[in-house]
Amino acid sequence: MKIRYIFPLVVGLGVLSGCEQNLLDTVPNDRISSDIFWKTERDAILASNGLYPALDGVNIFAIEGVTDISHVNQVFQVESNIEKGIHDALNSRPQTEWTSAYRGIRLANDFLANIDKVQTTNTALIARLKGEARTLRAYQYTKLVGLFGDVPLVTTTIGIEEGRTLKRASSAQIWDFVLKELTEAANDLPAAQTDKGRITKGAALALKARAALWAGRYQEAADAAKAVIDSKTYALYSSYANLFSYAAENNSEVILDKQFIKDTYSNNVFASMGPYSQRTANNTYVPTKALVDAYPMANGKDITDPTSGFDPKNPYANRDPRLRASIFVQGDDLPDGKKFDPRPTSGTADAIGNTYLATSTGFVLKKYINKEDLTTGGNCGINIVLLRYAEVLLTYAEAKIELNQIDATVYDAINQIRQRADVKLPALATGLSQAQLRDVVRKERLLELAFEGLRLFDIRRWKTAEKTMVGDVYGMTYADGADLKTIQIASFTRVFDPAKHYLWPIPQKERELNPELTQNSGW
């Protein structure tokens, strides 16, 4: 069964800690007092449940939306300014991600400060719950460093005045902390949990592999990924096309996801990301031509290769199956059974230019868009996957390539993904150089993990954003009579300044609250 979140309980406990003593003389009836909580094993489990809502959810699409493979569909959204390189420390997207991450860190710190008050002889349970909290806290710090670089490292509960004097710890210090935490947490976590969605040993090790890769600590990344692989706990799901469907929830590939329940704890992924024609959907962030063109032909050749068989007049035929599994393209079946036709001349609700809510590129995300949510687009129960086995395989391969430890296991890790049962791309040619394999694994990350919230972190750590995040934004190419026309987003140019844009600015509000917070270079 899924975790039943009790976030209000944990918030209530945090709020109570600052109350004056005379207010605690009576037990409040609108929250649980710390005087009567933290007594039993059940208290510990319920409190741990309250840590999970701080995990990322549909916000991963906003983070993905400001990369080369996506476009902010409504230009008045705050993320559009990030695309155009005109954002500043007042932009609400960095503020939202900062606030959300430190909220999760505060909840974990509060939990770890109180869990030992529980009266039990079940030390294994307490150790497991601590391991979950430490992993969830490490998850937030991994994201914070990827977005902001140096940030305050807070590992205990603090008061308001302490919060006004926090200084930024170096990224290296935070990576040291994160990797140590995840190593120790993994030792206290089980390979599987009865409640779906809870942190496992595999989740801690997979997150360690991700963090070490982002930190450039490739041997640690390879070792952590290898530990996940050798555990034999996970396997690639047979169908990439169905990987993000309700039927595939909690499948063998999922290592960590955020669990949702329709009507109880739901998300709005269909409403925010689905095709405009599908009732309440409005294409908030849409795929770009850069992403669509990156998918090779089914024979493995790039569409720019004259021998690939690519037909510009029939551009989606015989392509890597992950293209149509990930993105709605012209001619695809929509959840309501109609055909997707975004051509400006199509006369459909999805036609480019029909409304500012319709896709501006002619492409729409297909991952997570399920027909079960057609009539309730703002009330979806689909889980959002945050870590899956395919990423672990690619992390292992990339780390080994960067270490120049290229062997059969590197090829095997990549080929497993390329040759998934419903993908079946040709196996890689052997004997590739380190530089060639680096290009291969980076492209596989792009294709396999598109719109899963990782692209921004990848193009930052690879230092490729200065090349991919500049210039005009393009969409679909379509036939207009005998002519082929390519959509270009009107009056929109991306700008990326490598002197500043590889990190987001520290939010201005945070610096006003805490004068000790310095600003990132260039901001």
Query: Does residue 344 form part of some domain?
Result: no
Q: Specify the residue for token string 């036709």.
A: 341
- Whether 385 shows a pLDDT value over 80: the answer reads yes
Instruction: Give CA torsion, residues 214, 60, 143, 191, to 10 deg.
Output: -80
Beta strand 285-287 with 327-328 is: unpaired
Residue 17 within any structural domain of the chain: yes
Check residue 5 and give its pLDDT.
53
In a domain, 80, yes or no: no
For the chain, percent of residues with pLDDT exceeding 70: 93
Give me the helix-helix angle, 201-214 and 218-230, nearest 10°. Answer: 160
Is residue 132 in some structural domain? yes
Answer yes or no: is 124 within a domain.
Answer: yes
Q: DSSP states of 479-502 as a string?
A: EETTEEEEEEEEEEEE---TTTTT
> What does the buried/exposed string (b/e) look like for 381-391 if buried means 16 or more CB atoms within 10 Å of the residue's CB?
bbbbbbbbbbb
Computed over every residue of the chain, the mean pLDDT equals 94
Handedness of CA 278, 282, 286, 289 (dihedral sign): positive
User: Confidence band (pLDDT; 50, 70, 90) for 4?
Assistant: low
| pLDDT computed for residue 11 by the predictor | 38
Give the pTM.
0.93
pLDDT in tens, 233-265: 999 999 999 999 999 999 999 999 999 999 999
For range 277-293, the mean pLDDT: 93
Residue 281: its pLDDT value, please? Answer: 83
- For 28-71, what is each residue's pLDDT tens digit? 555 566 668 999 999 999 999 999 999 999 999 999 999 999 99
Largest CA distance in the chain: 82
pLDDT (mean) for 499-516: 97
Q: How confident is the model at residue 438 (pLDDT cuts 50, 70, 90)?
A: very high
Amino acid 181: pLDDT: 98
The parent domain of residue 119 ranges over: 7-68+85-189
CATH number of domain containing 17:
1.25.40.890
Q: Is the pLDDT of residue 494 over 50?
A: yes
| Per-residue tokens: 437 | 């394999």
Which pLDDT does position 307 carry in this prediction? 98
Q: Are 78 and 95 in contact (CB under 8 A)?
A: no
Mean local confidence (pLDDT), 266-275: 97
- Specify if 462 maps to a domain: no
Q: What is the mean pLDDT of residues 456-479?
A: 97
Note whether residue 448 is domain-resident. Answer: no
- Percent of the chain exceeding pLDDT 90 equals 91
Report how far residue 476's alpha carbon sits from residue 363's, in angstroms, rounded to the nearest whole number: 7
Q: What confidence score (pLDDT) does residue 26 get?
A: 54
* Mean of pLDDT values over 156-178: 96
> Is residue 292 in some structural domain?
no
| Domain count along the chain | 1
Q: Please give the pLDDT value at position 282.
A: 86
Q: What is the mean pLDDT of residues 143-158?
A: 97
Asked if the model's pLDDT at residue 72 lies above 50, the reply is yes
Alpha carbon distances (Å) from 334 to 109, 112, 459: 45, 47, 32
Q: What is the pLDDT of residue 24?
A: 41
Q: What is the pLDDT of residue 7?
A: 40
